[in-house]
Structure 1
Amino acid sequence: MSVTGDQIAALRRAMAWDGAASSDFDLNPETLLPAGRILRPAGVLVAFLPGENGLELLLTKRSPRLKHHPGQIAFPGGKVDPGDDGPVGASLREAREEVGLPPESVELLGTLPPHETVTGFEMTPVLGLVRDDFTEIPEPGEVAEIFRVPFAHVTDPARFIVQQRRWRGQWRRYYTVPFGPYYIWGATARILWALSKRMAA
């Protein structure tokens, strides 16, 4: 089997494992979250596609003009709209809008447990394989850049680091998995860390 084939098989095995929901507050147990809080549903597409040396993960750098998470590294995705088929539909629609990825080019592998963000979203990661070539077109209002990260970099737990910074007057700890000039952290890194733990199980 090829390197790409081995990696696809490993992803399929990883998706068979059970897992718990995660949160931007996982590493900060002292944070008191309001009881009865209402989270807005969202879906993000964790899309892997063939590269020269195996699978690569598709990521975006968000526009610095956005209200939520400006300039940060993110998966294509967004909140669930009334016409979407839940988080899966939202992730595919947003991927088409943000990076030009046709939904019919994506083979869905399944979903990971939802992740709660500091901005009040319940984000469902949707794993998919991009089976067809497509032209990457960044949506200028939302996406500053589209780039790819090697499979091995984001599926190896040893590459993840816990760092911290001041946030709303308190120290907040979070996962990071930097790649070259791209500082991958927060919800994106936390979701990838959960995937990497499944891969290592």
Structure 2
Amino acid sequence: MPDWLDRLAARAQRARVPRYMRPPARGGRDAAVLMLFGEGALGPDVLLIQRSTRGRRHAGQPAFPGGGVDPEDAGPVEAALREAEEETGVDPAGVHVLCTLPELYLDHSDNRVTPVIAWWREPSAVHAASPDEVDSVERVPIAELVDPGNRIMLRHPSGMAGPAFKVRGMLVWGFTAMVLDSVLREGGLDRPWDDTRVEDMPPGMLNLASRRS
């Protein structure tokens, strides 16, 4: 396992949870996502999926593999690995889990999400293994994520804006972009970028994001 990932995991665990993402005292569905880092042909990378536009929640959004914690799961780590296998075909036997991050709350879907950071010790072939849920799977190089030319602030019609990444034909925003931005920064992998570069959320993306059923 590379030293940079060890440092990233240690520092990311100490990152502060934004007030608006702190879980409520009660309620919410337990969920988990897998932040799977590996070493690809273009250097360090992270596994992302493009969710299906036919989905009920977070339709069409780039995301980490993941989903709800089922009753038979031992916890968020097992759930994240199971979901990643179901969605991308990744072999859990080749994945080394480093740590979990503090639980984050997504109000739109009422999910209490635990991010799981892992190292892809033995990479396996991946694809959109669950077509009803996933349109595509990408190993996105860290170098492309931290390239200042690929970074913007994305503004919602409400006026709120958050970090976003333009990579591999995807616009990564919302929860996934916030977690990536925080983890890469805490791990010392980010590069200075112009956070005054603001773009409005595309209307089609807004329509998908507002879908609840």
Same fold (TM over 0.5): yes
Deviation at 1:21, TM superposition (A): 2.3
For residue 17 of structure 2, the aligned residue among 21, 25, 29 is 21
**Unpaired runs of at least 5, structure 1:** 27-32
> Is this contact kept in 2: 1:22–1:114, CA < 8 A?
no
Match of 1:43 among 22, 32, 37: 32
Cα 1:14–1:49 shift into 2, 3 Å: closer
Give the residue type in structure 1 aligned to 2:63.
Answer: A
Distance 1:81 1:154 in 2: 32
Which SS does the other structure have where 1:68 is aligned? coil
Distance in 2 (alpha carbons) for counterparts of 1:22 and 1:13: 22
Equivalent-residue separation in structure 1 for 2:95 and 2:37 (angstroms):
9
- Alpha-carbon distance in 2 for matches of 1:74, 1:190: 11
Once the two structures are TM-superposed, the CA of residue 163 in structure 1 deviates from its matched residue by 2.0
Conserved? CA contact 2:37–2:46, under 8 Å: yes
Counterpart for residue 110 of structure 1 = 99
Structure-to-structure mapping, 1:48-59, within 5 angstroms: 48-59=37-48
Cα deviation digits, residues 127-181 of structure 1 (max 9, x gap): 1111223221311111100112112333578964322122xxx333222111141
CA contact (8 A) 1:156 1:200 kept: no
Cross-structure match for 2:83? 94
Structure 2 unaligned residues grouped into runs of 5+: 190-213
- Specify the code of the residue in structure 2 equivalent to 1:99: T
Match of 2:52? 63
Distance change >3 Å, CA 126–CA 158, structure 1 → 2: farther
Tell me the secondary structure at the aligned position of residue 200 of structure 1.
coil
Task: Report Cα offsets for 1:54-81 as digits up to 9, x if no partner.
Answer: 2211110001110001111011000111
Is 1:10–2:25 an aligned residue pair?
Answer: no
Equivalence for 1:81: 70
More displaced 10-residue stretch of structure 1: 8-17 or 78-87: 8-17
TM-score (norm 2): 0.78
8 Å CA contact 1:44, 1:78 repeated in 2: yes
